[in-house]
Chains A and B, each alone.
Chain A
Amino acid sequence: MNIQLNGKEQQLPKEVVTVTDLLHFFELSNRIVIVEVNRDILQKEQYQTHLLKDSDRVELIHFVGGG
């Protein structure tokens, strides 16, 4: 499937079905990351059950240095 990931078109392999899969695919499972899908913020408990679908707009957010 194709999603919009952090503003860029991204093709995902078949095995990426849930948000947990997506984080695993990008090797982010152990990182501090916040997930937003189609402007809805997901809670961590939802990662395993939330199914991604074609054309989803996904944002993977984190904290960076700032004042």
Chain B
Amino acid sequence: MLKIADRTFQSRLLLGTGKYPSFEVQKKAVEVSESEILTFAVRRMDIFEESQPNFLEQLDLNRYTLLPNTAGAKTAEEAVRIAKLAKASGLCDMIKVEVIGCDKSLLPDPVETLKASEQLLEEGFIVLPYTSDDVVLAKRLEQLGVHAIMPGASPIGSGKGIINPLNLQFIIEQSTVPVIVDAGIGSPKDAAYAMELGADGVLLNTAVSNANDPVKMAIAMKLAIEAGRLGYEAGRIAEKNYGVASSPLAGMITS
């Protein structure tokens, strides 16, 4: 069970809602993923265009917790504004703080992320900052009182998987709040690996929405996250350099 602030969730998969090939595929993928937390972006309405169906408006909001992000923000001030707009919907009080500091790598700005998180905590938000895999930054954010840490596995949408498992492990080991690996997940093995490292959850979007078959991939991710978590809880064996026989050496049949 995943616990963020005072909320509990059965699923450890948090799913993004961007870039699906169609509305129908998206609905189905969300459903089979069994995710309970869905992320959204906050944007101007396209009031001058023919109105498109809006995914969030089709959702049974009793079944899902909304996790709006502050994507697009480059400063703490912009992130706080977006977060407040999201909260004014009356639909959510959780926020994924995402302040991008580099347009090419889409890596987060640690200073602005810290500032935004601090202000949003003061405003009473449940704050989940998306961060780089910096252990000290994670500590500083925890000291502020954030409700979860969301370090990236690799750059957003890159699908490169976990490029620094050691750092993620350090963050997980020292964290007193849930650690959700966010961004960069490419395939089910990455998601399982994150969970085996001890992550409390995984947030992904592109890995499902841009897969050839997003619905099938949503199931795969769900299962990978469950398998990874079970593996972590079961406790893996230590690695050895040489072979250790699985069959008994005694009682060999000799001539």
Q: Size of chain A's interface in residues, with CB distance under 8 A? A: 26
Residues 32-67 of chain A, each 1 if its beta carbon lies under 8 Å from chain B, else 0: 111010010111100000000000000111111111
Q: Which residues of A contact B66 (CB under 8 A)?
A: 63
B20 contacts A by Cβ under 8 Å:
yes
**In contact, A61 and B16 (Cβ under 8 angstroms):** no
B68 contacts A by Cβ under 8 Å:
yes
**In contact, A66 and B39 (Cβ under 8 angstroms):** yes
A8 contacts B by Cβ under 8 Å:
yes
Q: Which residues of B contact A (CB under 8 A)?
A: 16-20, 26, 39-45, 47-48, 51, 54-57, 66, 68-69, 71, 81, 84-86, 88-91, 156-157, 183, 203-206
**In contact, A6 and B16 (Cβ under 8 angstroms):** no
Chain B residue with Cβ nearest A59: B44
**In contact, B42 and A61 (Cβ under 8 angstroms):** yes
Chain B residue with Cβ nearest A66: B41
Chain A residue with Cβ nearest B82: A61
Q: Which residues of A contact B19 (CB under 8 A)?
A: 65, 67
**In contact, B44 and A63 (Cβ under 8 angstroms):** no
**In contact, A32 and B89 (Cβ under 8 angstroms):** yes
Given A32-B91, A41-B88: A63 in contact with B56 (beta carbons within 8 A): yes
A54 to B125, CA, bound (A): 34
